[in-house]
C-alpha cells in the first residue's frame, strides 16, 4: 500500500496541475493526466530513482463512441524494482485525434503505438515509423472504432484474383 501512496504523492508534487484524477479500482492504481504532459510524466516516472518504471507493457486506446472526449489512451507501465503496475490514462478531446509518442522514453512502445494507430486511427506525433501494424496498407478504416462493424465493410479488403 505504501508504494501506491508514494507514486501518487510524487506525481502530485511534480505535476500538480496536470493530474486530473487518481483512481484505485480492484487494487489497480490508475492516473488520468492531461495529454500534453504525457512525455514529461513518462520521463519522470522512468527516471525517478524511487519509482523506476522502466518497462512499458502495453499501450491501447478506448473508444467511448458517444462522449465528447472520444478516445482515452491507456498506458500500462511496470516498475521491475518495485514490482508495481501503474496505469496512465490521457483523454483526447478533439479532432485530429493526436498525442505525443512515448517511444523516446520507452523504445518498446513503438509497436504498441503502431497497433493503436492501426486499430483506432490515433496519430502519435514524433513516432519514428507510424505504419499500420496488422491491416494491409491501403485499408481505409480503423477496425476497433465503435462505428466499424464486426463483419467489416464489404469490398474493403480484396480477395485474390483467380486466373483460369
Q: Phi and psi at residue 65, in whole multiples of 5°?
A: 60, -70
The backbone region for 28, taken as left when phi is positive above 0, alpha when psi lies in -120 to 50, beta otherwise, is: beta
110 is a contact residue toward other proteins (CB under 8 A) = yes
Please tell me whether residue 132 binds other proteins under the rule CB under 8 A. yes
Of the candidates 49, 136, 138, 155, which one interacts with other proteins according to CB under 8 A? 136
Q: Is 111 in the site for other proteins (CB under 8 A)?
A: yes
Region binding other proteins by CB under 8 A among candidate stretches 12-20, 37-45, 91-99, 145-153: 145-153
The residue among 16 and 25 lying less far from other proteins, judged by its C-beta, is: 25
Under rule CB under 8 A, residue 83 binds other proteins: yes
Q: Which residues lie closer than 8 Å to 159 by C-beta, 6 or more apart?
A: none
1/16 with CB nearer other proteins: 1
In DSSP terms, 16 is beta-bridged to none
Is residue 74 a contact point for other proteins (CB under 8 A)?
yes
Q: Which residues does 35 contact at the CB level (< 8 Å), separation at least 6? A: 73, 90, 91, 92, 93, 99, 100
Amino acid at each position: 500500500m505504501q508504494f501506491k501512496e508514494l507514486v501518487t504523492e510524487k506525481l502530485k508534487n511534480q505535476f500538480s496541475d496536470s493530474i486530473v484524477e487518481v483512481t484505485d479500482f480492484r487494487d489497480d492504481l490508475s492516473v488520468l493526466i492531461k495529454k500534453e504532459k504525457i512525455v514529461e510524466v513518462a520521463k519522470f516516472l522512468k527516471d525517478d530513482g524511487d519509482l523506476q518504471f522502466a518497462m512499458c507493457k502495453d499501450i491501447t486506446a478506448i473508444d467511448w463512441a458517444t462522449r465528447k472526449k472520444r478516445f482515452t489512451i491507456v498506458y500500462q507501465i511496470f516498475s521491475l524494482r518495485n514490482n508495481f503496475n501503474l496505469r496512465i490514462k490521457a483523454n483526447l478531446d478533439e479532432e485530429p485525434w493526436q498525442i505525443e509518442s512515448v517511444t523516446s522514453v520507452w523504445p518498446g512502445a513503438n509497436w504498441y503505438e503502431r497497433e493503436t494507430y492501426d486499430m483506432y486511427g490515433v496519430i502519435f506525433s514524433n513516432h519514428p515509423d507510424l505504419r499500420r501494424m496488422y491491416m494491409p496498407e491501403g485499408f481505409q478504416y480503423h477496425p476497433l472504432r465503435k462505428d466499424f462493424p464486426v463483419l467489416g465493410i464489404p469490398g474493403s479488403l480484396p480477395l485474390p484474383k483467380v486466373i483460369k
